[in-house]
Structure 1
Amino acid sequence: MKPTVALVGRPNVGKSTLFNRLTRSRDALVADQPGLTRDRHYGHGRVGAKPYLVVDTGGFEPIVDEGILFEMAKQTLQAVDEADVVVFLVDGRTGVTPQDKVIANRLRQSGRPVHLVVNKAEGLQSAMAGAEFHELALGEPVAISAAHGDGVRELMEIVLEGFPDKTEEESLRHPKFAVIGRPNVGKSTLVNAILGEDRVIAFDHPGTTRDSIYIDFEREGHTYTIIDTAGVRRRGKVNEAIEKFSVIKTMKAIEDANVAVLVLDAQLDISEQDATIAGFALEAGRALVVAVNKWDNLESEQKETVKREIARKLAFLDFAKFHFISAKEGRGIADLFKSIDEAYRAAMAKLATPKLTRVLKVAVERQAPPRSGAIRPKMRYAHQGGMNPPIIVVHGNALDAVPDSYTRYLEHTFRKVFKLQGTPLRVQYKTGDNPFDTEKDSRGGKSGKK
């Protein structure tokens, strides 16, 4: 499972800037104004072979006891409790403040590994930038500049030093699938229906499951792990900090699974939150099966309306199979499980290089990639670059110019030929020689670029 790194510190020390640097995104709002981040942001990062989840928390004001700052402090403490390691950010320009001392004391009590990081250290010698922060007694300070990227990679190598590299063997032991979705859509009821017994508490109250529960079981002689996750509520409906951070556990469960089973409530509108949760799984590259629950209570006309809504709002899940079930009555569970098996096999499929290259050449002959100015991208061969999800690496020239629409065409072609139902598939490009240079053909001569 990916380690979770929580970024903690008082307001305006640069946590969101560091978050954006680590995730290579602009997902967190950044401005020179304290307290801009009032809720958590979460994203994916990687240093070498070590992937991780990173959580950007709101500014930590541990001495307040009411209002929005108090709520932010509760969220931060919950993030620390759920994280594997904490990065405590301080401001190298401002120096040690009374708030920093209080936060340091709280973090020592948490029992989590803490790395003290001195931000805004550009132009300063590392030893000088961190000198006065030794009084916080949290080990050797690490000086960085989140805005400029100075020292950030070295910092994360230190932070992740004790965590193992991700290996394919870990995910090949046996299938793991996570049951995900909004609260009160019937996730725990579905888990019980699959297991055939009441292994998970399930009753009609949103948010019953606050932690992810891993259950090993056997079905037809094969071993599986099912993960029942906490429901992810819409931000405006969440009051307790412990539920605000249930999304972290859901993301970790998705990362640890091979297949995600997205549960929808047929009696409720397909919401933005449903699409967001599906997006978590898609971003993680996980195979996906959709279970539309509570189907038995709908009239025929209502069923058609629900299907149209799903087709419109979840069109980006066209690779996944949809099942209309009743978890409470146990209807549709057998077919759902067949799709889980199928999605797992597709996610872990091994694709031979010669066949991949043949499929690529046929696809290009049928529809060549469009020109970019005077240059047409040239695709030479393909090989598999990874599993869960399947990654196909295409080699050639001028591939930086391939548009997204053509990439989707290749993804559709590979999925259809190799029967990869239920899993996202990613096509990556690796460009060789400069397309403006002449290049040797297979006979040793030279051929100009067409």
Structure 2
Amino acid sequence: MTRPTTRPHGQVALVGRPNVGKSTLFNRLTGTRGAIVTAVAGTTRDVLGGAVEWQGRVFALVDTGGVVGASLDPMQDAVAERVGRAAATVDLLVFVVDGREGPVPADDEVAETLRRHGVPVVVAVNKTDDRRSRDRASEFHRFGFEPIVEIAAEHGLGIGDLLDEVVSRLPPAPGQAAAITAAHETDVPPTNETRIAVVGRPNVGKSSLVNRLLGEDRVMVSAVPGTTRDAVDEVIRWHHRELRVIDTAGMRRPGKVAQSGHVEAVSVVRARHAMEQADVSVLVIDASAGVTRRDAAIAGEAEAAGCGLVIAANKWDLVRGQGTFAKEFDLDVRETLKFADYAPIVHLSALTGERTARLFDRVDEVAEARRRQVPTGELNRMMETAVRQHAPSAQGKGSVKIKYAVQSGTAPPVFTLFTTRGERLHFSYERFLKNRLRGAFGFKGTPIRLKVRGR
């Protein structure tokens, strides 16, 4: 992150018990290594302060490391006193918790203190860099705070999503309120940028496709695999919408990357980060070569990142007219990418421009589906019908009943199921429910997350 050059407007405090990663998150957001960047008026001398810039907004950030939750004894008044002091001077609190450990009594004490002050709270579930910790993130819904954002401060995962939530909840900066009012008065719709990451193996035509979409030679194109090293992006307008198209380095097998050295390794990390920040990933596959296990692995990374997915079968000009090739190709893709059978497929040619316009149509549909919110009543009526047709089963022994369900998140859609046992449903039943959700409400091209809580 670049160092802000304008004056901060709005204050945000990081709160939480010790050892949940507040200082690491502070360093990640401010771009420092633990140094005191600036003195923050009205706070104790062991509170670190800095400035953060995001989407044109600059806000002051304070780290209450070593202050909030300094003692695990919930009877000590110091915790409540220090949180109260922070709550009285800031616009927003970021409640940092440990996703690996899950909720502990010290978190409950901090949460109880936060509830008494009425300051907006964003929950940052840190250390969610593996599947188990991501699954545990839903347990923090019990605190009653929204939104809940999964991050890994050490690796920079989810930081953009956290900053989006923070900035959207800060009071308007000077001049911003007038600009918002003027926009409403002139009936100009707000900017709605869709982030598109173009990913795939080396030399499948990613850069050629990006250049075709942008209408210029923005990215260097070469027959040598790995020409693109950095994730480069451009914003274009399409149907009164802004699309940020990000071209990424070709993602080879880990063994090949290790042999190529540090530069390519960093490029692959950036490509993965682009998927984590994207609304939709476009997976480019070389239709003339067919779908490969590496294509499936990249699709799996997109699914894990939670972004939408569209499959672009490139070089279609080389295979067009080969009888039943299109049908056989699509069947092969569905068989190889069983876990992502929700992703639409577009046959196109970056070289000739054939069907490239359709790609934006599919991306737009997927981005909309990823943000879709289902009314709770409609959701539970669908669940009742599904349960009558196919009773739920858990991973362990014994029966389980789904009491009710709510949509607890979007982008990607997250549904929390309240059950009699609170343990994860059998994977086959989860797949059944996801298919029913898609059939009832669409969700084309987007992964769906299911969380289970005891009731």
Shorter-chain TM-score range: 0.5 to 0.7
Supply the distance in 2 between the matched residues of 1:389 and 1:371 (Cα, whole angstroms).
24
Is there any run of 5+ residues in structure 2 with no aligned partner, and where? 2-19, 35-100, 103-125, 128-150, 169-190
Contact kept, 8 Å, 1:377 with 1:401, in 2: the verdict is no
- Cα shift readout 1:307-358 (whole Å, capped 9, x = no counterpart): 3432321222111101111111111112221110000001111221111111
Closer/same/farther in 2, CA of residues 350 and 51 from structure 1, 3 Å limit: farther
The answer for the alignment partner of 1:410 in structure 2 is 433
Q: Answer with 396-405 or 296-305: which moved more.
A: 296-305
Supply the distance in 2 between the matched residues of 1:212 and 1:290 (Cα, whole angstroms).
19
Q: Percent identity?
A: 36
Supply the distance in 2 between the matched residues of 1:201 and 1:371 (Cα, whole angstroms).
51
Aligned: 1:194 with 2:213: yes
Q: Which structure would you say has the larger Rg? A: 1
The answer for the alignment partner of 1:278 in structure 2 is 299
Aligned: 1:383 with 2:411: no
Supply the distance in 1 between the matched residues of 2:215 and 2:348 (Cα, whole angstroms).
15
Q: Which amino acid aligns with 1:243?
A: E
Provide TM-score, normalisation by structure 1. 0.58
Q: Secondary structure at the match of 1:226?
A: strand
The answer for the alignment partner of 1:210 in structure 2 is 229
Supply the distance in 2 between the matched residues of 1:364 and 1:167 (Cα, whole angstroms).
37
The answer for the alignment partner of 1:96 in structure 2 is none
Supply the distance in 1 between the matched residues of 2:152 and 2:395 (Cα, whole angstroms).
39
Residue in structure 1 matching 2:243, options 207, 210, 224: 224
Supply the distance in 1 between the matched residues of 2:414 and 2:405 (Cα, whole angstroms).
10
How far residue 174 of structure 1 moved from its aligned partner, in angstroms, is 1.7
Closer/same/farther in 2, CA of residues 85 and 262 from structure 1, 3 Å limit: farther
Residue in structure 1 matching 2:193, options 153, 174, 197: 174
Aligned: 1:256 with 2:282: no
The answer for the alignment partner of 1:325 in structure 2 is 348
Aligned: 1:336 with 2:359: yes
Contact kept, 8 Å, 1:296 with 1:326, in 2: the verdict is yes
Contact kept, 8 Å, 1:288 with 1:423, in 2: the verdict is yes
Closer/same/farther in 2, CA of residues 304 and 353 from structure 1, 3 Å limit: closer
The answer for the alignment partner of 1:363 in structure 2 is 386
- Cα shift readout 1:75-100 (whole Å, capped 9, x = no counterpart): xxxxxxxxx7899xxxxxxxxxxxxx
Closer/same/farther in 2, CA of residues 297 and 315 from structure 1, 3 Å limit: same
Q: Which amino acid aligns with 2:296?
A: A
Q: Secondary structure at the match of 1:331?
A: coil
Contact kept, 8 Å, 1:51 with 1:166, in 2: the verdict is no
Supply the distance in 2 between the matched residues of 1:366 and 1:339 (Cα, whole angstroms).
32
Supply the distance in 2 between the matched residues of 1:419 and 1:200 (Cα, whole angstroms).
35
Q: Answer with 274-283 or 235-244: which moved more.
A: 235-244
- Cα shift readout 1:297-316 (whole Å, capped 9, x = no counterpart): 12336555533432321222
Contact kept, 8 Å, 2:395 with 2:426, in 1: the verdict is no
Contact kept, 8 Å, 1:378 with 1:399, in 2: the verdict is no
Q: Secondary structure at the match of 1:334?
A: helix
Residue in structure 2 matching 1:345, options 348, 368, 392: 368
Closer/same/farther in 2, CA of residues 393 and 211 from structure 1, 3 Å limit: same
Q: Secondary structure at the match of 2:411?
A: coil
Q: Secondary structure at the match of 2:450?
A: strand
Supply the distance in 2 between the matched residues of 1:174 and 1:269 (Cα, whole angstroms).
32
Q: Secondary structure at the match of 1:260?
A: strand
Closer/same/farther in 2, CA of residues 351 and 226 from structure 1, 3 Å limit: same
Contact kept, 8 Å, 2:401 with 2:420, in 1: the verdict is yes
- Cα shift readout 1:124-152 (whole Å, capped 9, x = no counterpart): xxxxxxxxxxxxxxxxxxxxxxxx99xxx
Contact kept, 8 Å, 2:192 with 2:241, in 1: the verdict is no
Supply the distance in 1 between the matched residues of 2:373 and 2:211 (Cα, whole angstroms).
33
The answer for the alignment partner of 2:308 in structure 1 is 287
The answer for the alignment partner of 2:143 in structure 1 is none
Contact kept, 8 Å, 2:424 with 2:452, in 1: the verdict is no
Contact kept, 8 Å, 2:309 with 2:366, in 1: the verdict is yes
Closer/same/farther in 2, CA of residues 342 and 158 from structure 1, 3 Å limit: closer
Contact kept, 8 Å, 2:330 with 2:345, in 1: the verdict is no
Provide TM-score, normalisation by structure 2. 0.58
Contact kept, 8 Å, 1:375 with 1:398, in 2: the verdict is no
- Cα shift readout 1:13-42 (whole Å, capped 9, x = no counterpart): xxxxxxxxxxxxxxxxxxxxxxxxxxxxxx
Q: Secondary structure at the match of 2:440?
A: helix
Q: Secondary structure at the match of 2:412?
A: coil
How far residue 211 of structure 1 moved from its aligned partner, in angstroms, is 0.2
Supply the distance in 2 between the matched residues of 1:248 and 1:224 (Cα, whole angstroms).
23
Q: CA RMSD in A?
A: 3.5
Contact kept, 8 Å, 2:287 with 2:315, in 1: the verdict is yes
Contact kept, 8 Å, 1:85 with 1:159, in 2: the verdict is no
Closer/same/farther in 2, CA of residues 170 and 411 from structure 1, 3 Å limit: farther
Supply the distance in 1 between the matched residues of 2:330 and 2:288 (Cα, whole angstroms).
12
How far residue 370 of structure 1 moved from its aligned partner, in angstroms, is 3.6
Residue in structure 1 matching 2:323, options 300, 311, 314: 300
Supply the distance in 2 between the matched residues of 1:326 and 1:424 (Cα, whole angstroms).
26
How far residue 197 of structure 1 moved from its aligned partner, in angstroms, is 2.3
- Cα shift readout 1:251-270 (whole Å, capped 9, x = no counterpart): 11001100000000012242
Supply the distance in 1 between the matched residues of 2:447 and 2:155 (Cα, whole angstroms).
28
Q: Which amino acid aligns with 1:278?
A: A
How far residue 224 of structure 1 moved from its aligned partner, in angstroms, is 1.3
Contact kept, 8 Å, 2:200 with 2:251, in 1: the verdict is yes
Q: Secondary structure at the match of 1:231?
A: coil
Q: Which amino acid aligns with 2:277?
A: D
The answer for the alignment partner of 1:28 in structure 2 is none
Contact kept, 8 Å, 2:395 with 2:423, in 1: the verdict is no
